[in-house]
Amino acid sequence: MTSAEQVVSQIGSITVAKGTFTCEYCKKSFQRESTLLAHSCEKKRRWLAKDNQDVLVGFASYDLFYRIEMQSKPKQYVDFVEGQYYTAFVKYGSYCLNTKVIDQEQFTRWLIKNKVKLKDWPTDRMYLLFVQSHCKRESVERALERFVENAMTTEYFETFWETASGYLIADWVEMGKISPWIIITSKRAEKAIGAMTSECIERIANCIDAEYWAKKRQLNPHDANFVQEMIDGTT
Ligand SMILES: [Zn+2]
């Protein structure tokens, strides 16, 4: 055997020895199929999770981020899996689902527009700021619709304002389930606030740009009447 043939035969035996079952995700080889099937690697895990809700929201946000910030073409899932931001975006996706973010795409656009660092995306601090800005821009109809959708999930929809605790109402205002439109206009809401602890009142006050909403109510009396009609049953 020439030395060249020896080298070739050695390489051949090394290849065989490395095993014939290769992980299609990380390219690692195994001698037994059972070992390959039991094998787990980060890439395989990411591909198998591709239809999970948190991953879907994370991927959509990642794609939107690149399209807006980098004028990038639509991203493929493979770019996401191979990229360094996979974990951060999936964490954000999971936050959006757990928090029941009122409008995921608008929240993502708001974070991008305000140049918020990716690590701060899945935080209540950012979400509460987004809610305040979102409530100012949405229609009064949408604000009422969202409140009704949420109130209907409680067991006391009809007597929501008389039954709900101050803490629940403060939570709902912070998370955007109750729009400032209702707080500044409804007589029932006013009465509920009057019966709350100062801690709850303070939390609500911190969420509402009082000057902005007073002006908005003054300039849109029809919308204010509509809120009273829907929430209080009177005008
Ligand atoms: Zn692998």
- Amino acid 193: pLDDT: 96
Distance 41 CA to ligand 1 centre (A): 4
Distance 22 CA to ligand 1 centre (A): 8
71 inside domain = yes
* Residues 173, 232 within the same domain: yes
* Residues 219, 157 within the same domain: yes
* Residues 148, 101 within the same domain: no
Distance 24 CA to ligand 1 centre (A): 7
Choose the final residue of a domain: 95, 122, 149: 122
* Residues 115, 90 within the same domain: yes
Residue whose C-alpha is closest to residue 151's, from 118, 112, 182, 107 = 182
133 inside domain = no
Distance 25 CA to ligand 1 centre (A): 5
* Residues 30, 55 within the same domain: no
196 inside domain = yes
12 inside domain = no
Distance 42 CA to ligand 1 centre (A): 7
Per-residue pLDDT of the chain (235 residues; tens, 9 = 90+): 456 556 545 554 444 455 689 999 999 999 999 999 999 999 999 999 999 999 999 999 999 999 999 888 999 999 999 999 999 999 999 999 999 999 999 999 999 999 999 999 999 999 999 999 999 999 999 999 999 999 999 999 999 999 999 999 999 999 999 999 999 999 999 999 999 999 999 999 999 999 999 999 999 999 999 999 999 997 5
N residues, the chain: 235
Distance 87 CA to ligand 1 centre (A): 18
- Amino acid 72: pLDDT: 85
Distance 37 CA to ligand 1 centre (A): 10
Q: Using an 8 Å Cβ cutoff, are 156 and 164 in contact?
A: yes
* Residues 109, 159 within the same domain: no
10 inside domain = no
88 inside domain = yes
2 inside domain = no
* Residues 205, 147 within the same domain: yes
Distance 88 CA to ligand 1 centre (A): 21
Distance 50 CA to ligand 1 centre (A): 16
* Residues 142, 159 within the same domain: yes
- Amino acid 126: pLDDT: 97
- Amino acid 235: pLDDT: 57
Distance 58 CA to ligand 1 centre (A): 22
* Residues 101, 150 within the same domain: no
* Residues 27, 80 within the same domain: no
127 inside domain = no
- Amino acid 15: pLDDT: 47
Task: Tell me the residue range of the domain where 36 lies.
Answer: 17-41
The total of structural domains in the chain comes to 3
* Residues 37, 60 within the same domain: no
| pTM score, whole prediction | 0.82
* Residues 146, 96 within the same domain: no
Residue whose C-alpha is closest to residue 62's, from 87, 43, 42, 40 = 87
Distance 98 CA to ligand 1 centre (A): 30
- Amino acid 18: pLDDT: 57
Convert 76-101 to b/e letters by CB count within 10 Å (16 or more is b): eeebbbeeeebebbbebbbbbbebeb
Distance 35 CA to ligand 1 centre (A): 11
Q: What are the structure tokens assigned to 13, written together? A: 């035996």
